[in-house]
Amino acid sequence: MKILKSAVIAFSLAAAMGSFSTAAVAESDPGRASYKPTDVINEVVTRITAAETAINNGAEGDAVVDLIKKASDFIKELNANDKVARYADKARGHLKLAITSAKAANLQEAKQHLAAGKEGVEALKKML
């Protein structure tokens, strides 16, 4: 009887785990917009380019920080595999350094970090 009870519990547990795959039924929240990875990458590159243009046009540090922050926040929307996520975090690290430099009014250093971040984000396209 003990063996039968254990077998029934094991079978029911296996059936319950196998019948619902979280990956198969996963959806985004109803009010949340989800983007394709290539769309996210293109939008982040566009936002980084806007920040670089603002630096070239002589914008103040706070305005540049806002533009870089928008790019840094939007890269979080990238939903792909783990390898892409690791490299996206590295690119986001460059954007964070650019934010720090722009806050310190060191816009040329921020521009260098933006270029490195942009290069890293564009490299993500090859990994998809």
The whole-model pTM stands at 0.75
Please report the pLDDT score of residue 25 as a whole number.
56
Query: Average pLDDT of 57-84?
Result: 92
Please report the pLDDT score of residue 20 as a whole number.
63
Query: Average pLDDT of 78-97?
Result: 92
Please report the pLDDT score of residue 123 as a whole number.
95
Dihedral angle, C-alpha 20, 22, 24, 27, nearest 10 °: 130
SS3 state of residue 17: helix
Structure-token pair, residue 1: 């009887």
Please report the pLDDT score of residue 89 as a whole number.
94
Which CATH code for domain 35-127? 1.20.120.660
CA angle in degrees (0–180, nearest 5) for 72-90-41 = 50
pLDDT over 90 (residue 10): no
Number of other CB atoms surrounding residue 22 within 10 Å: 6
Residue 76 near residue 113 (C-beta atoms within 8 A): no
Residue 51 near residue 114 (C-beta atoms within 8 A): yes
pLDDT digits (tens, 9 = 90+) for 43-52: 999 999 999 9
CA distance 30 to 71: 24
Query: Average pLDDT of 97-106?
Result: 94
